Amino acid sequence: MSGATPGLRRHEVRTLALGALGGALEFYDFIVFVYFATVLGALFFPPDMPEWLRQLQTLGIFAAGYLARPIGGVLMAHWGDRIGRKRMFMLSVLLMALPTLAIGLLPTYAQWGIAAPIALLLLRLLQGAAIGGEVPGAWVFVAEHVSERRVGFACATLTAGLTFGILLGSLSASAINLRFTPAQVQDWAWRLPFLAGGALGVVAVWLRRYLDETPVFVALRERRALAQGMPLVTVLRAHRAAVLYSIGLTWLLTAAIVVMILLTPVLMQQRFGLPAAVALPANSIATLCLCVGCLAYGLAADRFGIRVALGVGCVLLAASSYWLYAVLAAGSTDPVLPYAVTGLAVGVVAVVPAAMVRVFPAPIRYSGLSFSYNIAYAVFGGLTPLIVATLAQHSALAPAHYVAAVCVLGVLLALARAPRTPAAG
């Protein structure tokens, strides 16, 4: 993996661009729900229900999307290994776009009664199934479209697109709340981000029609070397070391994203008393820096190798996390610089998919990566907020301690020899 890496060919640039665009729109569709949780709670549950219960049930519907991720991921991965990456790549976007569009058109509790929150829950489950198939499928798709020496940058481009979707969700929510009055938002304007996201998702499906099936899958099909039976059974029987390795890497990814990007702005306000007008713009800057950091780490992985990029990246992430939380604990009211640097360091998450696609052979790559990623994300993505929020009550540096501890695991995984499987394709 040393030496200069070659430039991308035109069709590879098109593939990465459309993959990143679709990933950004799909992640936007998945995440924008949480920015309108208060409004959705007021509209989709009985008006006489206590406010805390409405919000609890609304966030429960949001969380249901995470529970559906492993199911959608396993099913789409199965068919992705059997009939083609491209078909699942298109299906995942469509499966996200249509429920998002439907949420934007959904009648409220005042119109449908109890059927309204039930419909909202079902649509959210479809969104979760879609994102469970999209993320690992997209990583496999772009990785199999480029040369071995550009896998790091390919996966990083897609990861940057996914994280940019988080930023789009935040910016769209801010724009809606700035442009319209609270009454207008609750009356009809809350629908606009969902309608726009669904419509753009349909456009993304149309654009992905112009992508080609991956050369790796085409070669497998021509050699009649596609996975037989249940690919996941083969994964669990013959590639357990690769699964454990990938689960460990996914834990690192969830710690970085969930703690430093999703939870930190909340902790800034609740734990350190910063106003939303300071915390939220700082988070937007950090997220933008994360997109840049993903690309930088992807290039580093191609130039210096996965082990170096991952090991050094984990050290930098731990150090920057301590810097940010030390500044917050000292009472600073301007955390933008350390948060921006931390955002860049979080970019190490882009190395994770580049490592995972290498440890599973091509016939069962989609299933192996999807199972490991979605199971780990469901477990650690669900537990991490609870653990960090509890620990933060006792120590201002608790979030940094947690991230640093997982970074130690990342360094150990970087130092260890990655599971080697026979490369196919």
Full pLDDT tens readout for the chain, 425 residues: 334 445 678 888 888 988 888 888 888 888 888 788 888 988 999 988 887 787 778 878 877 887 888 889 989 999 889 888 888 888 888 999 999 999 999 999 999 999 999 999 999 999 989 888 888 988 999 999 998 889 999 999 999 999 999 889 888 888 888 889 989 999 999 999 999 999 988 888 888 887 888 888 888 888 876 777 788 999 999 999 999 999 999 999 999 998 999 889 888 988 898 887 888 889 999 999 999 999 999 999 999 999 999 999 999 999 999 999 999 999 988 999 999 999 999 999 999 999 999 999 999 999 999 999 999 988 888 788 878 888 888 899 999 999 999 999 999 999 987 786 544 33
Could you tell me the pTM of the whole model?
A: 0.87
Q: Do 81 and 146 contact (CB within 8 A), yes or no?
A: no
Q: How is residue 122 written in tokens?
A: 């079902």
Q: How is residue 358 written in tokens?
A: 């290498």
Of 92, 103, 158, 156, which Cα lies nearest the Cα of 130?
92
Position 313, amino acid? G
pLDDT of residue 4: 42
pLDDT of residue 244: 96
Report residue 45: phi and psi, to 5°: -135, 160
CB-based contacts of 132, cutoff 8 Å, min separation 6 = 68, 69, 70, 71, 72, 73, 74, 76, 370, 374
Interatomic CA distance for residues 62 and 31, integer angstroms: 9
CATH class, domain 231-425, is mainly alpha
Q: Hey, where are the domains in the chain?
A: 8-151+165-226, 231-425
Interatomic CA distance for residues 20 and 249, integer angstroms: 21
Of 374, 376, 359, 363, which Cα lies nearest the Cα of 417?
359
Q: How is residue 155 written in tokens?
A: 């996966």
Interatomic CA distance for residues 173 and 280, integer angstroms: 11
pLDDT of residue 56: 78
Q: How is residue 115 written in tokens?
A: 């059927």
One fold for both 8-151+165-226 and 231-425? yes
What Å distances lie between residue 399 and 163, 318, 337, 387, CA to CA? 20, 10, 18, 9
Interatomic CA distance for residues 159 and 23, integer angstroms: 8
CB-based contacts of 260, cutoff 8 Å, min separation 6 = 286, 317, 321, 324, 342, 343, 346, 399, 403
Position 192, amino acid? L
pLDDT of residue 424: 36
pLDDT of residue 225: 67
Work out the number of other CB atoms within 10 angstroms of the CB of residue 3. Answer: 8
Question: CATH number for the 8-151+165-226 domain, one of 1.20.1600.10, 1.20.1250.20, 3.30.70.3170, 3.30.430.20?
Answer: 1.20.1250.20
Residues in the chain: 425
Interatomic CA distance for residues 198 and 182, integer angstroms: 23
Q: Do 348 and 314 contact (CB within 8 A), yes or no?
A: yes
